[in-house]
């Protein structure tokens, strides 16, 4: 029986390599449609949790994992030799930047190398990790061909970028159109069939490079526009103009304008990282991607701007220096109502406050304790502050970095006399004069 036939009759076994915020929801999408999934990860805590029917991601309930596990549809292992039992291998591992803002493909390469001894004829391999155009062809294809396989004949190779948006109830992952770029026409057909098993809409493109580039364009578009409104915010602040009111007014135009909103920086696994993958690759072709780099510089400078504004407010309002000030940062996660703190600008705000001699703490009901993070090891294990009247009143200032729906505006306004609002979260709230500063 061919791979295509196995996919179509649901006898194919799908291997998900990397069980994080992308891999786990993807596995459950296949499970919901009756496919057996083998999850593979180097983190035994994740594989153990899955095999016990427990979730380790807040917005995915344990009951979902327990249900498909009890049906025999989902199991997990750290033993990559078991990948040989899978008809499809989908790679969902991190693609961070190194200290020089260059792509770090070590997770992808190490994962591919881990399964190479066990790949077999008829399998399909799909890379979902965001990367620069050419990665699938330059890094994965030669390794597979070196094992004696012919791509498009006895092995199928794809790139299909993840579009996961943790916690987005309006667009659950299976409803987001899935781009599929195959190395050959046969790869495209197998890829379309594979992903039709988990997604409602498939968007086939002519090559992995097109799919790789499309993913980068999506996030560069957001990065550049966020950089623009962040710059506009700084200009508007100097002019004494509320930039959020400006944006809302501009957004009434029914064509030619899409509203983006400023913040304390950018976070998550995509926008702070992905644009630099294209910047790095473009240099190979002698092209300087100025828009991308300028937007990146502006967005990366926003935590510093927030801390500077906090210092100005403390000096003007309390005649107090940042050095020695006790500051509470509200919201450690990079976006509202999730427990995902990857690349969160809140870490940079905490770091800079510490560098200025302040005594920073954070409060986040979604992140009760900071997990290991690559770039900010100092904060590992730190626990969220208590949310009590006496605790909040003890801080010289509160910075709203991320606003969760669980936060209580009335208590915040009653307990904190100096608030730096980077999200316009308190717009229209009954604050005292001078109590809230937008930044």
Helices (H) and strands (E) in the chain, counts: 15, 13
With a CB cutoff of 8 Å and minimum separation 6, the contacts of 282 are: 288, 289
Q: Is 187 a catalytic residue?
A: no
Alpha-carbon span 376 to 382, nearest angstrom: 11
Exposed, middle or buried: residue 284 (CB in 10 Å: 0-12, 13-18, 19+)? exposed
Question: Nearest 5°: CA angle at 128, between 111 and 39?
Answer: 55
Residues in the chain: 439
In the three-class reduction of DSSP (H, G, I as helix; E, B as strand; rest coil), residue 144 is classed as helix
Within 13 Å, how many C-alpha atoms sit on residue 193's CB side? 21
Mind giving me the DSSP string for 300-331? HHHHHHHHHHHHHHIIIII---STT-EEEEE-
Q: Are strands 156-159 and 178-182 parallel, antiparallel or unpaired?
A: antiparallel
Alpha-carbon span 243 to 259, nearest angstrom: 12
Alpha-carbon span 182 to 179, nearest angstrom: 10
With a CB cutoff of 8 Å and minimum separation 6, the contacts of 47 are: 19, 39, 40, 41, 76, 77, 78
Q: Report the run of H or E that residue 89 belongs to, with start and end.
A: strand 88-91
User: Nearest 5°: phi and psi at 420?
Assistant: -105, 110
The one catalytic residue in 86, 92, 187, 270 is 270
Q: Which residues are catalytic?
A: 270
């Amino acid at each position: 029986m061919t791979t295509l036939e196995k996919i179509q009759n649901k006898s194919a076994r799908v291997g998900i390599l990397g069980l994080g915020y992308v891999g786990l929801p993807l596995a459950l999408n296949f499970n919901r449609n009756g496919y057996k999934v083998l999850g593979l990860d180097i983190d035994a805590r994740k594989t153990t949790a899955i095999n016990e029917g427990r979730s380790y991601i807040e917005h995915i309930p344990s009951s979902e994992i327990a249900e498909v596990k009890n049906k025999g549809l989902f199991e997990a292992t750290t033993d990559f030799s078991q990948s040989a039992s899978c008809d499809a291998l989908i790679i969902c591992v991190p693609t961070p930047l190194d200290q020089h803002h260059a792509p770090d493909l070590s997770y992808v390469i190490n994962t591919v190398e881990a399964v190479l001894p066990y790949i077999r004829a008829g399998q399909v391999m799909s890379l979902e990790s965001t990367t620069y155009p050419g990665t699938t062809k330059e890094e994965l294809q030669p390794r597979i061909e070196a094992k004696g396989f012919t791509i498009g004949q006895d092995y199928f190779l794809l790139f299909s970028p993840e579009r996961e948006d943790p916690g987005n109830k309006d667009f659950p992952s299976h409803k987001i159109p899935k781009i599929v770029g195959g190395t050959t026409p046969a790869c495209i057909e197998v890829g379309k069939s594979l992903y039709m098993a988990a997604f409602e809409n498939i968007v086939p493109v002519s090559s992995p490079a097109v799919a790789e580039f499309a993913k980068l364009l999506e996030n560069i578009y957001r990065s550049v526009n966020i950089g623009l409104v962040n710059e506009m915010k700084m200009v508007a602040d100097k002019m004494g103009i509320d930039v959020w009111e400006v944006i809302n007014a501009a957004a009434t135009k029914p064509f030619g304008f899409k509203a983006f909103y400023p913040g304390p920086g950018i976070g998550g696994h995509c926008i702070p990282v992905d644009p630099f993958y294209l910047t790095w690759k473009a240099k190979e072709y002698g092209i300087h991607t100025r828009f991308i780099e300028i937007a990146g510089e502006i967005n990366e400078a926003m935590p510093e701007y927030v801390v500077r504004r906090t210092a100005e407010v403390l000096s003007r309002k309390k005649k107090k220096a940042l050095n020695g000030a006790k500051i509470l940062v509200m919201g450690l996660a990079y976006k509202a109502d999730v427990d995902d703190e990857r690349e969160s600008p809140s870490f940079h705000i905490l770091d800079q406050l510490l560098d200025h001699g302040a005594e920073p703490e954070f409060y986040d009901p979604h992140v009760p304790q900071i997990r290991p993070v690559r770039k900010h090891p100092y904060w590992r294990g730190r626990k969220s502050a208590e949310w009590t009247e006496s605790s909040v009143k003890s801080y010289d200032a509160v910075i709203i970095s991320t606003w969760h729906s669980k936060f209580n505006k009335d208590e915040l306004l009653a307990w904190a006399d100096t608030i730096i609002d980077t999200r316009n979260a308190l717009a229209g709230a009954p604050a005292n004069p001078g109590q809230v500063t937008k930044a």
